[in-house]
Amino acid sequence: MTQDMTREQAAELTNRCVTILAAAIDRDADAAGREITQIAETSGDAGVFCVATAVAEAVRRSAYPYNGTASVQMLTGGEPEDLSPDLRAELFAARFLAAHVNGDSQTAMALFRAPILAEDDEQACRNVAALVNLAASIARHQLAGESS
């Protein structure tokens, strides 16, 4: 996870994060997913974690500009493991975003690494896609508010 990046690599990853968010805001899940997959293939877990963190930071800066806190209160009716993969991904997205907004990087990292440690790459990708979709939904909501 602590792979050193050159400035060029960091700039490229930043541009790809913007591409992912733009695609998600435009409701083009396929394009966002392709970009996340390419990052996973070229940069591994470290690159995908950078994407997750960048997406969460974009939401924090736009939705919580005054360093407010976010909380997640969700009743699931069971343990996260009992949920469908899609619901687990949505739960991850809400929890990861709240941890990031609240400055709890250790929880964010633990949430991100859980499916990786369980060798469930499919769930890990599904989690990041759900985070991107959550960020896009928040961005669309804010854009709609600005145009009113």
Quote the DSSP letter at residue 77: S
Each residue of 1-16: pLDDT tens digit? 345 678 888 788 888 8
How confident is the model over 117-145, as pLDDT tens digits? 888 888 988 999 999 999 888 888 878 87
Contacts of residue 103, defined as CB under 8 A and 6 or more positions apart, other chains included, come to: none
pLDDT (0 to 100) of residue 80: 61
The structure tokens listed for 61 are 């800066």
Whether 137 and 61 have beta carbons less than 8 Å apart is answered as no
Distance CA 21, CA 32 (A): 7
pLDDT in tens, 59-98: 777 765 545 444 443 334 445 666 788 888 888 898 899 8
* The model's pTM: 0.62
Integer angstrom CA distances of residue 87 from 3, 16, 22, 78, 114? 31, 26, 23, 12, 15
pLDDT at residue number 148: 58
Residues in contact with 53: Cβ distance below 8 Å, sequence separation at least 6, in sequence order = 100, 108
pLDDT at 73: 37
Count of positions (residues) in the chain? 148
**Type of residue numbered 145:** G
